[in-house]
Copies of this chain bind each other. A is one copy, B any other.
Amino acid sequence: MALTTTTLLEALQQRYATKAFDATRRIDPETWAALEKSLVLSPSSYGLQPWKFLVITKAELRAELRQHSWNQSQITDASHLVVFLAKRRIEEADVEKLISATSTLRGIAIESLGFYGEMIRKDLINGPRSQHIGQWSSNQVYIALGTFLTSAALLGVDTTPIEGFSPAEYDRVLGLENSAYRSCVVAVAGYHSAEDKYAGLAKVRYPDSELIEHIS
């Protein structure tokens, strides 16, 4: 069932950050459901899933968010907008929740998962990484972003990842200020407009030999 390398590389080669979306085209429900599932199935460190995904199709809300996104047209014109949220803190309750879910889903006694919880606590709650937990959770969210963009490309859906927005304003507009989550990064998905002059441009990449070094 594995894909051919040709099919994979064609999709990755065609993917580009869409500048102009066709505002009349919507992603069909089955395809969108698969893209949501790609977010849920995305890997994260320890499987902690320190994230949440807001899927926004409400036009008025998107118009408001556009004002806090350098007025980029993709925010309102794409079929779907996803705000990727990162968990602000990792606490004992997060560890217990994961252990409990693991126990239930895998039919393993909670007691025999003790080492696993301990490993997470020693790293993320009491260890050196606890000092940079914001960065750590952002990193995990960006894995999900990479998974989403790649999955979309394979399904023939155009996307744009967007860092050009105000996380503080998004948090305010989305009512996240006092929540456990914060706005981390944004992506839109849909189909590019026939007028998008970026669609046909050559991809700008440095030579493989500059980006990849082999030590063999």
Residues of A within 8 A of B (CB): 1-3, 5, 7-13, 15, 17, 30-31, 33-34, 36-43, 45, 47, 49, 51-58, 61, 97-98, 101-102, 105-106, 123, 135, 138-140, 142-151, 154-156, 161, 163-164, 185, 201-206, 208, 210-216
Contact = CB atoms under 8 A, between A and B. Distances in A.
A155 B208 CA distance: 20
A203 B61 contact: no
Nearest to A157: B2
Nearest to A135: B135
Dominant secondary structure of chain A at its interface with chain B: helix
Nearest to A160: B43
B55 A38 contact: no
A206 B154 CA distance: 25
A143 B161 contact: yes
A7 B144 CA distance: 19
A155 B13 CA distance: 16
Contacts of A37: 9, 12, 208
Given A1-B11, A143-B149, 6 more contacts: A5-B30, A8-B38, A37-B208, A40-B211, A53-B213, A154-B154
A54 B215 contact: yes
Contacts of A102: 204
Nearest to A142: B142
A36 B204 contact: no
A112 B3 CA distance: 40
14 contacts: A8-B38, A8-B154, A40-B211, A54-B213, A55-B216, A57-B215, A57-B216, A98-B204, A101-B206, A139-B139, A146-B146, A146-B147, A150-B151, A154-B154
B13 A41 contact: yes
Nearest to A5: B34
